Structures are given as C-alpha cells and as structure tokens.
Amino acid sequence: MINIQPSDLIGKGVHRKCYIHPENANQCIKIVYRGGQAETIREQKYYRYLAKRGIPWEMLAQFHGNVETNFGIGAVFDFVRDDDGNASKTLDAYFKSTDETTVSYANIFQCLCELKHYLLENNIITMGLKPRNILYKRLSQTTGRCVIVDNIGNSDFIPICTYNKFLGNKKILRKWDRFEKALSKEYHDNTKLKNFILQLRQS
C-alpha cells in the first residue's frame, strides 16, 4: 500500500488526479476521481499492446502497472520533468501565455513535427490529440521534447487501424489534421502562434 499526501498532487484533469510517486521520484500515480474505470481499462490494454510491440517511449509516458494507494487504485507512469526538476507543463499552458522567455514557440513546434513523425513511425493511435494532454519537456532554453500523457488508443469496434500500419497512419494523419485546426481555433488570440501553426501544417 502506497501512502500519498494531498500535497503530492502535480496536476488534475477532468477524470484523474496525478500525484508524484512518494517512493520513486521518476514516476507519477494517476487516480480516477470522477467517472468509472472503463476508460482506464481501455487505455491500459493499449499501453500493454504497445509495450509488447517494443516501441520507444521517448514521446509517450510509459505505463508501469497499477498500485494500491490510500486514495484507491492508481496507475503508475513515467513522471515527465523539465531540466530544472519541475513537472513539465502542458502545451495548453504554453500557448495560453505569450511569454517566450523560458521556451520559444519555435522549439515547441519543432518538437511537434517530431511528435507527428514518432506517432506515424510507431503507428501510435490517439483517441484525440489535445494541447492539455501533451507536455513540453524542456531540456534547455533551446531544446525539448513533446510527450503525450493521456488519451491514446483506439475505441473502434473493430480496431483494424491498431494492427495495420497503412490504415493506422491514415487515422493518425486525420487526428493530426484535427489537432492543427483546433490549435488555430483555440489560440486565435495568440498572434505569435499563428505563423508556427501554418508552418506545422506545411511540414
């Protein structure tokens, strides 16, 4: 049984709270606080499938199984940190601010191009790409990596795209296109971002 303190909280989504693992600083524990476990079960099945396939985990936080905690059952993942040791921030947090002093949009968009190729190369299907589910892991002022922490897998009744790379890649490109369109819509007030989104669409 792992004992989590409320102060271990790193982030909170609509369904889950994410805590730093009290016994392993490189991992975090996610606990459902709203809704059922169905989504978690579906997600974990997909993570196990990817693990079996032996994919590289550099742009997807790896799943390490479930543990029992004082707050209930929790799912253990790699904890994504920046070079200063702090929890990496979501793309949403970066795009809502226009402050580029610690990280430039140019870096983030370079990393987004790499993320797109990583997903295609490894045929990793996402339910939907959202800026609040992608972290920017800052490695230095000019380098970093985008890491997906939520919402992967395929809920199709017959999930053929999971097993067929040609069809899977078509699905990934469709999701990516939707993601880019959503970025231009969601952050239309951020004029600095516009050029980068255009560049991303041409890459």
Ligand X SMILES: Nc1ncnc2c1ncn2[C@@H]1O[C@H](COP(=O)(O)OP(=O)(O)OP(=O)(O)O)[C@@H](O)[C@H]1O
Given the rule CB under 6 A, which residues bind ligand X? 10-16, 18, 28, 30, 61, 77-80, 87-88, 90, 132-133, 135, 149-150
Residue 42 or 132 having the CB closest to ligand X: 132
The region of 101-109, 142-150, 159-167, 181-189 touching Mg ion under the rule CB under 5 A is: 142-150
138 binds, among Mg ion, ligand X, none (CB under 5 to 8 A by kind): none
Among all residues, whose Cβ is closest to ligand X?
Answer: 13
Q: Are 28 and 10 in contact (CB under 8 A)?
A: yes
153 part of the interface to Mg ion, by CB under 5 A: no
Contact call for residue 13 and Mg ion (CB under 5 A): yes
150 interacts with Mg ion by CB under 5 A:
yes
- Nearest-Å Rg of the Cα atoms of the chain is 17
Which does residue 194 touch among ligand X, Mg ion, none (CB within 5 to 8 A, set by kind)?
none
The residue count for binding Mg ion (CB under 5 A) is 3
28 binds, among ligand X, Mg ion, none (CB under 5 to 8 A by kind): ligand X
Compute φ and ψ for 32, nearest 5 degrees.
-70, 130
Closest CB to Mg ion among 74 and 110?
74
Nearer to ligand X, 67 or 87 (CB): 87
Where along the sequence are the contacts to Mg ion (CB under 5 A)?
Answer: 13, 133, 150
